[in-house]
Amino acid sequence: MAPRSGAAALLRTARARAELTQRALAGRAGTTQAVVARIESGRTSPGWDTLQRLLRASGFDLRAEIVPRPASQSHMMRDVARILRLSPEDRLREVAAVSRFVANTRRV
């Protein structure tokens, strides 16, 4: 059965690269071979701590990173042409208005 989740693919890849059997990985991680098999098959989705422990037992670290998404897909990009047509003074007035709006919404 092919992995159905990102965790399944990560674990299967890490275990294969470490040249470990499911049983050997389970022994290193302090769990059972059945748990490793269920995760790799996608039948269960591990928590962050469990996945991290299994990957560490395979000799790998799991890291999460927050990365900004490109703004090209944002609805805000539709307003760029209008903003670029504003004078510098009008742009400053618009920024001030947005700043007041944000400050007022924080009070609510």
Please state whether 59 falls in left (phi above 0), alpha (psi between -120 and 50) or beta.
left
The pLDDT, as a whole number, for residue 67 is 82
Name the residue among 12, 14, 5 with its Cα closest to residue 43: 5
Mean pLDDT by 10 residues, the chain (108 residues): 73 97 97 97 94 97 84 72 91 90 79
The pLDDT, as a whole number, for residue 71 is 64
Name the residue among 25, 23, 3 with its Cα closest to residue 14: 25
Task: Tell me the CATH number of domain 6-57, given options 1.20.1530.20, 3.20.20.70, 2.60.110.10, 1.10.260.40.
Answer: 1.10.260.40
Query: What is the residue extent of each domain of the chain?
Result: 6-57, 72-107
The pLDDT, as a whole number, for residue 3 is 41
